[in-house]
Amino acid sequence: MLNRFREKLIPFTRSIGNNFGSLGFSPTFWSMVGFAFAIISSVFFGLSNFLNQQGIEFPSQIFASIMLLISGFFDIVDGSVARVLKRTTTKGAFLDSNFDKISESLIFIGIAIGGLANPILAMIALATSILVSYLRARAESLGIELKGIGIGERAERLLILSICGLIPISESIQWGVVIIILISAFSFVQRFKYILKRI
């Protein structure tokens, strides 16, 4: 859904691409930076329960959510740099796509380990999220464009988790996971029907 606003954000993303592109690093480098922040986020989600048991007063959930937002920012950076420098490559797209899936999986695993959501719900959220992404990849292999189809794309899912994680109330992450399950399931149905009509 957020992809529908991409054209309105072009001046902003172009500015980001110019600024970060001037540093001389490749788009893949920025993808790896975003991936690193996602790993840090998953680790601190996973440490939440342990830190509480040890009586360590550290806002692990909030810190993890901030790291997740930063990771999302670098998702914008790598694409913007690639477009501005005209360095979009098949290899870069392949790496970026895999980094995205691995990081999203780690985030949900961290949430389950950290006791921030019911592990079964976390698994369902991960499964439905992967299904939404898989439909897009499968559709593109058939020559069908799915960008903007579905309300539960990766950007929305991570944004929901980040916002919920920044809310300092009990089970806020679990509510985020439940919302992700609902929008992912709905998006899967939307995309599935859309693809069938165009095959």
Q: Supply the pLDDT for residue 88.
A: 76
Cα separation values, 42 from 100, 103, 120, Å: 13, 8, 17
pTM as predicted: 0.88
Does the active-site annotation cover 96?
no
User: Residue 17: which residues within 8 A CB-CB, separation 6 or more?
Assistant: 77, 80, 81, 82, 83, 84, 85
pLDDT in tens, 104-163: 999 999 999 999 999 999 999 999 999 998 998 889 888 888 777 778 788 889 999 999
Mean pLDDT of the chain: 88
pLDDT confidence band for 60 (50 / 70 / 90): very high
pLDDT confidence band for 1 (50 / 70 / 90): low
pLDDT confidence band for 7 (50 / 70 / 90): low
Range 93-117 burial, b when 16+ CB lie within 10 A, else e? eebbeebbeebbebbbbbbbbbbbb
CATH of the domain at 67: 1.20.120.1760
What's 11's DSSP letter?
H
**Domains of the chain: total:** 1
Kindly write down the DSSP assignment for every residue of 134-193, as one continuous string: HHHHHHHHTT---TT-SS--HHHHHHHHHHHHTS-STTHHHHHHHHHHHHHHHHHHHHHH
pLDDT confidence band for 90 (50 / 70 / 90): confident
Q: Supply the pLDDT for residue 9.
A: 60
Query: Whole domain around residue 137: which residue ranges?
Result: 2-198
Higher-pLDDT residue of 45, 170: 45
* Greatest mean pLDDT range, 86-90, 95-99, 100-104: 100-104
Q: Supply the pLDDT for residue 3.
A: 53
pLDDT in tens, 145-157: 877 777 878 888 9
Q: What is the mean pLDDT of residues 84-97?
A: 82
pLDDT confidence band for 69 (50 / 70 / 90): very high
Higher-pLDDT residue of 23, 65: 65
Catalytic residue among 75, 78, 96, 100: 100
SS3 call for 132: helix
- State the burial class of residue 168 (Cβ atoms within 10 Å of its Cβ: 0-12, 13-18, 19+): exposed
SS3 call for 116: coil
Contact between 70 and 158 under an 8 Å Cβ cutoff? The reply is no
pLDDT in tens, 174-196: 999 999 999 999 999 999 999 99
The H-assigned helical ranges of 85-145 are 90-113, 119-141
pLDDT for 6 beyond 60: no
